[in-house]
């Protein structure tokens, strides 16, 4: 029986509902949707799009790191954005935070997001050391 291991990420906002920040299972890390929320759970819908993207991606990478991974471990990112016109800015911030890593990616426009945020990101990474 494969074990699912919840990931608690001290540098990302703790879950606000019935879910884990991440799950490690079968050699993979599944990271929950991360919004532009400070680690103390203050929503930052007041920030501009670039700053929201930086914060959401930092939260995502904090969960990946807590699971033993790094940007280089990230296989697939799904980004939900409010307003497809933000695509170029999202891409620039993504390059900034991912560095050399170029995972598979989908950018999905949505009508709205929780707490009025403009961007949410999730990913599947490979568990480090396996």
Residues near a second copy (CB under 8 A): 1-2, 4, 6, 15, 17-23, 25-28, 30-33, 72-73, 75-78, 80, 84, 87, 91, 94-95, 98, 102-114, 120, 122, 124, 126-130
Closest contact distance (angstroms) between CB of 40 and a second copy is: 20
The residue among 46 and 87 lying less far from a second copy, judged by its C-beta, is 87
Residues in the chain: 130
Alpha-carbon Rg for the chain, nearest whole angstrom, is 14
Q: How do beta strands 22-25 and 28-35 pair?
A: antiparallel
Task: Output the CA torsion 103→106→112→118 (10° steps).
Answer: 40
What is the number of alpha carbons within 13 Å of residue 97 lying toward its C-beta?
Answer: 23
């Amino acid at each position: 029986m494969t074990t699912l291991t919840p990931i608690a990420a001290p540098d990302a906002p703790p879950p606000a509902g019935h879910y884990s920040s991440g799950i490690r299972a079968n050699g993979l890390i599944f990271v929950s949707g991360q919004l532009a929320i400070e680690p103390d759970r203050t929503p930052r819908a007041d920030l501009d799009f670039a700053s929201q993207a930086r914060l959401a991606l930092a939260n995502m990478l904090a969960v990946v790191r807590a699971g033993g991974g790094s940007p280089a471990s990230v296989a697939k990112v799904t980004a939900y954005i409010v307003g497809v016109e933000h695509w170029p800015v999202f891409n620039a911030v993504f390059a900034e935070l991912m560095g050399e890593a170029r995972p598979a990616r989908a950018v999905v426009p949505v009508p709205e997001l929780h707490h009025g945020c403009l961007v949410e990101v999730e990913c599947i990474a490979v568990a480090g050391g396996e």
